Chain A
């Protein structure tokens, strides 16, 4: 195994990182520390991430020169920033076509959104997607899709509340005035 082989296997951006690889990363046990040992822990964490993405062992990476490891680690530095969630290829079912049961399923799955991302996409995408198609999606696509779905749900519910509340407020004011008139008589 040489540096070039490992380097070529790694994604250079969130767009290149497939959802199936991203889900593997979420299972990694990453240590956090703020003290001086943090530098060594940081290297350990990087090696774990690189090993997972390149499908090699940490021991094989440790055998490489530190200069090469640094070069490889720089390629995946994008992971320290969140992906940009502005557009997605996934089209969601319209909120008014979603049943209450489906909404409950969504709320339950959304409690662990990363782990349940493939299930959420499969259940609520307008187009029928296979498990393989979903796992081959870019992480940016899946992340943006979920973020935009949440925005769309909140917007629809707010709009529904606003329009229902206006009508209900008028009705209840009329009813209260009627009750007041009756009680005065």
Chain B
């Protein structure tokens, strides 16, 4: 059941994450080109890794 929900709604959850990150509305994100959204997701992922690395250096 969880897999079915993930398959159908997973992409919409991702759109919501991008919307929160970029301050676009959810519907504006859906209207953007899919390659633009994937690029944004890569940037988000990368920033998260940089913040994690930053914190691990500070905590040392």
Cβ-neighbour of B39 out of A164, A179, A180 (below 8 A): A164
- Stretch of A16-24, A36-44, A94-102, A141-149 on the interface side: A94-102
B36: shortest Cβ distance to chain A, in Å?
8
* B12 x A104 contact (CB < 8 A): yes
A171: shortest Cβ distance to chain B, in Å?
8
Interface secondary structure of B, over-half rule? helix
Whether B2 sits at the interface, judged by CB under 8 Å, is: no
How many A-B pairs with Cβ below 8 Å? 65
Please give the number of chain A residues whose Cβ is less than 8 angstroms from any Cβ of chain B in the complex. Answer: 27
Interface secondary structure of A, over-half rule? helix
Q: Tell whether A97 pairs with B33 under 8 Å between CB atoms, given A172-B46, A183-B58.
A: yes
B16: shortest Cβ distance to chain A, in Å?
12
* B34 x A100 contact (CB < 8 A): yes
Given the complex, which residues of B lie within 8 Å of A180, measured CB to CB?
Answer: 57
Q: Tell whether A100 pairs with B50 under 8 Å between CB atoms, given A107-B11, A164-B42, A183-B57.
A: no
